[in-house]
């Protein structure tokens, strides 16, 4: 079996209880793409574990991507992240959050201990150990955990070259399969983009929309508290959180004061505000096909985003 056939077989076939094999495949691709010297390379588990933390931290803490309908059957990695980081949306960047909270190393160790010892030996079929070698020994259909000094995989130089030369094609195939697995349990738009660009998508400035919104409604009042807006204190806010919508669309943008914008953050507004923005969108003909803001609002709530308390 060729390397390309093997990789596609791994990500598209077989039993999928969770998305660990997608995460491992993404790590192997990203690692190989960035590597300089093409040679057989030892990769220790803590480095893989740290990549898992980043992949799943964004899915859980930023985008609220559900891994399963049932809370009890979610992957262990999500439970670990929730135990350390909570289950609320986190407004900070990945880097700033872990600067503020000094338990990143503990998280990495726990993910390594509880999440990698099965996916690494089972990722590729036993008869096709072409991509990397590992130190797990199979006994009675189970794999024994290797000793600490042997907790590494040996990524073959041919595999590194293969991943590096075919990165774009393989990465797109991987993200598509990952999204297909998750779309069964999610009501989230732009799922592929959220998985593909974890932590890499920069939010665009919304200043260009300020003039348009002011022209639509020249009352110059905060959408949420109705206070008069000062020219130096006009903010443009995503009514439904950007982390859910993952796009800048006029039908979802409102003017607000800095106080309301800061307080709302990535929470959902209350139901009265939903009625208000629906009327505004109808008045100014901002309703488009598949842009039913009420449906987005309720699906966002189903996804796990919380409503602001007042």
pLDDT number for residue 67: 86
pLDDT at 121 over 80: yes
Structure-token match 């049932």, residue found: 70
Mean pLDDT on 174-194 = 92
Whether 26 and 174 have beta carbons less than 8 Å apart is answered as: yes
Angle of helix 3-12 relative to helix 167-182, nearest 10 degrees? 10
Mean pLDDT on 125-133 = 87
pLDDT number for residue 306: 86
pLDDT at 290 over 50: no
% of the chain with per-residue pLDDT over 70: 95
pLDDT at 136 over 90: yes
More confident residue, 310 or 245: 245
- Tell if the pTM clears 0.85, that is, is over it: yes
pLDDT at 104 over 80: yes
DSSP letter at 221 equals B
pLDDT number for residue 203: 77
Structure tokens at 253: 């943008």
pLDDT number for residue 291: 62
| Res. 187 pLDDT band, cuts 50 70 90 | confident
Structure tokens at 25: 């495949």
In the chain, CATH 1.10.30 sits at 207-303
Residue 241 to residues 49, 244, 282: CA-CA distances in angstroms? 29, 5, 21
pLDDT number for residue 75: 92
pLDDT number for residue 288: 63
Mean pLDDT on 221-230 = 94
What CATH code is assigned to 207-303?
Answer: 1.10.30
| Res. 126 pLDDT band, cuts 50 70 90 | confident
Whether 76 and 114 have beta carbons less than 8 Å apart is answered as: yes
Computed over every residue of the chain, the mean pLDDT equals: 90
Structure tokens at 72: 């009890």
Q: What share of the chain is helix, strand, coil (3-state, %, to 5)?
A: 55, 10, 35
DSSP letter at 203 equals P
Structure tokens at 272: 């009265």
More confident residue, 160 or 231: 160
pLDDT number for residue 108: 98
Residue-wise DSSP of 225-237: T-PBPPGGG-EEE
More confident residue, 286 or 277: 277
% of the chain with per-residue pLDDT over 90: 65
| Res. 289 pLDDT band, cuts 50 70 90 | very low
More confident residue, 292 or 256: 256
Q: What is the pLDDT of residues 199-211, one digit of tens each?
A: 666 778 898 999 9
Residue 92 to residues 80, 96, 98, 152: CA-CA distances in angstroms? 19, 6, 9, 32
pLDDT at 17 over 80: no
Q: Which of 180-184, 208-212, 214-218, 254-258 has the lowest mean pLDDT?
A: 214-218
């Amino acid at each position: 079996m060729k390397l390309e056939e093997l990789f596609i077989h791994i990500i598209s076939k077989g039993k999928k209880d969770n998305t660990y094999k997608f995460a491992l495949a993404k790590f192997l691709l990203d690692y190989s793409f960035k590597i300089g010297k093409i040679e057989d390379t030892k990769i220790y588990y803590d480095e893989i574990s740290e990549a898992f933390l980043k992949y799943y931290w964004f899915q859980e803490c930023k985008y609220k991507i559900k891994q399963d309908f049932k809370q009890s059957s979610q992957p262990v990695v999500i439970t670990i992240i929730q135990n350390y980081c909570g289950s609320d949306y986190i407004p900070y960047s990945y880097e700033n959050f872990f600067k503020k909270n000094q338990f990143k190393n503990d998280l990495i160790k726990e993910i390594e201990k509880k999440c990698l010892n099965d996916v690494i030996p089972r990722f590729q079929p036993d008869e096709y150990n072409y991509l990397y070698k590992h130190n797990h020994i199979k006994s009675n259909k189970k794999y024994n955990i290797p000793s600490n000094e042997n907790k590494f995989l040996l990524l073959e130089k041919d595999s590194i070259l293969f991943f590096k030369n075919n990165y774009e094609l393989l990465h797109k195939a991987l993200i598509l399969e990952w999204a297909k697995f998750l779309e069964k349990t999610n009501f989230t738009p732009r799922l592929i983009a959220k998985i593909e660009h974890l932590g890499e998508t920069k939010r665009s400035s919304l200043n260009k929309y300020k003039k348009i919104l002011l022209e639509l409604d020249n009352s110059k009042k905060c959408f949420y508290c109705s206070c008069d807006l000062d020219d130096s204190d006009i903010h443009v806010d995503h009514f439904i959180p950007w982390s859910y919508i993952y796009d800048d669309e006029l039908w979802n943008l409102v003017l607000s004061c800095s106080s309301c914008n800061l307080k709302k953050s990535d929470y959902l507004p209350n139901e009265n505000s939903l009625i208000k923005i629906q009327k505004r969108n109808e008045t100014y003909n901002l309703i488009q096909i598949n842009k039913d803001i009420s449906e987005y609002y309720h699906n966002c709530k189903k996804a796990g985003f919380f409503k602001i308390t007042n």
